Amino acid sequence: MKVPRIGPAGLLIVLSPLVGEVLNGATRLSYIFAFVPQMMVWGCGTLIVRELAQRRGGGWVRVILLGAALSVAVEFLILQTSVAPLPWLEMAGIPA
C-alpha cells in the first residue's frame, strides 16, 4: 500500500500565505491569528492550482493563468476588497 506524502503539500499550504501576506507586511505579526484563514484561502488555492497544472499539463503558462484566476477570485469573491467602498477617499474629499 502506497502511503501519500503530505509534506510537500503541507509546505505549500504554509508557505504561500507566509510569503504573500506576512513577509510583505500585509499581515502584521500582531495579527498572526489571521494566518489560519489565509492558509485556508491562499494555501489551499495554491494547492489546487498546482494539482490542476500537474494533472492537465501546460507548464508555467497554465500555472500563471491559474494563479491570476485565483487572485481575482480571492479578491472579488472571497475578500470582496476590490468592490468595497474606499472610505479614505471620502476622508480626503475625493468623490468615489
Question: Does pTM surpass 0.85?
Answer: no
Q: How far is CA 30 from the centre of its chain?
A: 20
Q: Does position 18 have pLDDT exceeding 60, yes or no?
A: yes
Burial, 66: exposed, middle or buried (Cβ in 10 Å; 0-12, 13-18, 19+)? buried
Q: Are 31 and 9 in contact (CB under 8 A)?
A: no
Determine the pLDDT at residue 91.
65
The band of 85, judged by pLDDT with boundaries at 50, 70 and 90, is: low
Determine the pLDDT at residue 86.
62
Q: Measuring CA to CA, how many Å separate 34 from each of 10, 21, 40, 46, 85?
A: 18, 10, 10, 18, 22
Q: Are 14 and 43 in contact (CB under 8 A)?
A: yes
